[in-house]
Amino acid sequence: MHRRRVRGLRTRNVLPHVNRSLWLCSRIHMPSPDGSRNTRKPETTVPTQLTAGPFRVFCEFRHALVMDFFKSMTWLTWSLLSGFFAAATAILAKIGVKDTDANVATAVRTSVVVVFTWLLAYINRQPSSFQAFSRKTWVFLVFSGIATGLSWLCYFHALQIGPASRVAPIDKLSVPLVILFAVLFLGEPLTWGKGVGGFLIVAGAIIIAVE
């Protein structure tokens, strides 16, 4: 009776290792422990812990962590980051546009932006990200791109011949203009805060321009 129990325990302890060995042998088409050779097609359903390696698990965890971090950011956080990078853009562009053609510099910068934004769009793509755009969407995106290109051309020409500390604040006159256009064309309400803030931006830009 005691020998049967010991034999049963040994069998139960060995079976998991034998099953795993048989599965591994079937994956690489090597002879199994019983001497036979497996020639059938490997199964498609395999244990997750064997297929998902540490590097893949780490990449998926990092992607989920980054996406959760981005989703937790508010519009104010994105706006502050936008202002910071806009300031860095002015300084870097002023250094880079020196002794170069402003149009060529704008083309180089635009090319970098195109590659960078498409890379981000591909990495963070969603199942419905690349669905067909409507005609209205295409029209407004095209005109928006033209306006962006013209803005960059004017901005680089201004940086080439003027100080960055004066060009950048005057460029921010776009803020009160956006407030005005939003009221006229988008139907957004004009509050006292927006009106006073836009007026102060205009006053600050004028003071810097005539300094």
Q: 161 and 98: one domain?
A: yes
Residue-wise pLDDT for 51-108, tens only, equals 456 666 666 666 666 667 667 778 788 788 888 888 888 888 888 887 788 888 888 8
Average pLDDT estimate for 130-152: 85
Based on the domain organization, do 90 and 166 belong to the same domain? yes
Give counts: helices (H), strands (E), the chain. 9, 0
pLDDT at 150 exceeding the cut of 70: yes
Per-residue pLDDT band for 28 (boundaries 50, 70, 90) equals very low
In order, the DSSP letters of 69-119 are: HHHH--HHHHHHHHHHHHHHHHHHHHHHTTTS-HHHHHHHHHHHHHHHHHH
Least Cα distance to 117 among 92, 159, 148 occurs for: 148
**Quick one: 115 and 45 in the same domain?**
no
pLDDT at 26 over 80: no
Query: Looking at the domain assignment, is residue 41 inside a domain?
Result: yes
Query: In the structure, what pLDDT confidence band is assigned to residue 20 with cuts at 50, 70 and 90?
Result: very low
Domain count of the chain?
Answer: 2
105 in a domain, yes or no?
A: yes
Q: Give residue 193's Cα distance to chain centre.
A: 32
User: Cα dihedral sign for 36, 39, 40, 42?
Assistant: positive
- Domain extent, residue 114, equals 84-171
**Residues 208 and 170: beta-carbon distance below 8 Å:** yes
30-46 confidence digits (pLDDT tens) = 444 455 554 554 444 44
